[in-house]
């Protein structure tokens, strides 16, 4: 997608904090990489941070693993303080893409309070919509390629989708009430979906 120069300038002067939302396997990681390149944002994925800690066998990683292996959420207080520490380490940013966070209303509240303290706020939630059969299919393929344990077992995948429906999906309502929710069809080619996301970002920063 060609983002014309005047729009790019507007975006550059704008603190753009995006919550990229959607069920496991919706394509948040893939789209984040493209959004980071185009809009010069810092990508923060709680899943990636947990996996980094698991790989390095930190205390946080050991704790998170006990939940992740079952397809459950890591407790809010652990996740919130981890995320806040990550944000604080970044000295300069035009904005952030929060990927996999917030995953509960409690986390959304904490993020709002945290940003408010820094005179910032969430600009928008972009929510990728993908049906369950497609999610399971994508995650099983990802599990084969990546070796991620939580992607290799269909019952764990189904549990993650259940947890998403029961605990996470309502976070969308939280942003909807603030007028910040945008639903996007998450089925299509990577570029098609990226163009849908970019169009909303560009439109909202005009
Ligand atoms: P996906 O979106 O594909 O499920 P992620 O990489 O975002 O995967 O997260 C992997 C796992 O890490 C989740 O299933 C969950 O156990 C844990 N996790 C990630 N983010 C959070 C969060 N914000 N709150 C609680 N647990 C989380």
Q: Can you give the three-state secondary structure of 124-179, one letter per residue?
A: EEEEEECCHHHHHHHHHHHHHHHCCHHHCCHHHHHHHHHHHHHHHCHHHHHHHHCC
Q: Is 196 a residue of the active site?
A: no
Predicted confidence band of residue 169 (pLDDT cuts 50, 70, 90): very high
CA-45 nearest atom, ligand 1: 7
171 lines ligand 1 (CB under 6 A): no
Average pLDDT estimate for 120-128: 97
Q: Residue 6 C-alpha to ligand 1 middle, in angstroms?
A: 37
Compute CA distances 204 → 126, 155, 158, 184, whole Å.
Answer: 12, 39, 35, 15
What CA–CA distance (Å, rounded) separates 104 from 116? 18
Q: Residue 47 C-alpha to ligand 1 middle, in angstroms?
A: 5
Fold of 4-201: Rossmann fold (3.40.50)
pLDDT of residue 92: 85
What does the pLDDT look like over 176-201, one tens digit per residue? 999 999 999 999 999 999 999 999 99
Report phi then psi at 4, rounded to 5. Answer: -70, 160
pLDDT of residue 206: 75
CB 128 within 8 A of CB 194: no
pLDDT of residue 8: 53
What does the pLDDT look like over 21-51, one tens digit per residue? 999 999 999 999 999 999 999 999 999 999 9
Give the start-to-end residue ranges of the domains of the chain: 4-201
- Pick from 20, 33, 72, 74 the residue to mutate for probing ligand 1's pocket: most ligand atoms within 8 Å of its CB: 74
22 lines ligand 1 (CB under 6 A): no
pTM of the model: 0.91
Angle in degrees, CA 26, 27, 31, rounded to 5: 145
Residues 6+ positions from 186 with CB-CB distance below 8 Å: 22, 26, 27, 128, 129, 130, 193
What CA–CA distance (Å, rounded) separates 152 from 143? 5
- Transcribe 69-105 into DSSP letters: TTTPPPPHHHHHHHHHHHHHH----S-EEEES---SH
């Amino acid at each position: 997608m060609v983002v014309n120069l005047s729009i790019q300038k507007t975006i550059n002067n704008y603190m753009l904090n995006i919550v990229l939302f959607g069920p496991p396997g919706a394509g948040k990681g893939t789209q984040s990489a493209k959004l980071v390149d185009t809009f010069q944002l810092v990508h923060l994925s709680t899943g990636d941070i947990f996996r980094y800690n698991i790989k390095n066998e930190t205390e946080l990683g050991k704790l998170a693993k006990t939940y992740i292996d079952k397809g459950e959420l890591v407790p809010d207080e652990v996740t919130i303080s981890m995320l806040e520490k990550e944000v604080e380490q970044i000295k300069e940013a035009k904005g952030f893409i929060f990927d996999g966070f917030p995953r509960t209303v409690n986390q959304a509240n904490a993020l709002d309070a945290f940003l408010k303290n820094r005179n910032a706020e969430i600009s928008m939630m972009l929510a990728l919509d993908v049906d369950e059969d497609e999610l399971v299919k994508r995650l099983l393929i990802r599990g084969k390629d990546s070796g991620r344990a939580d992607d290799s077992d269909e019952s764990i995948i189904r549990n993650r989708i259940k947890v998403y429906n029961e605990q996470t999906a309502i976070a969308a309502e939280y942003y909807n009430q603030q007028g910040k929710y945008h639903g996007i069809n998450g089925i299509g080619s990577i570029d098609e979906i990226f163009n849908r996301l970019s169009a909303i970002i560009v439109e909202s920063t005009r």
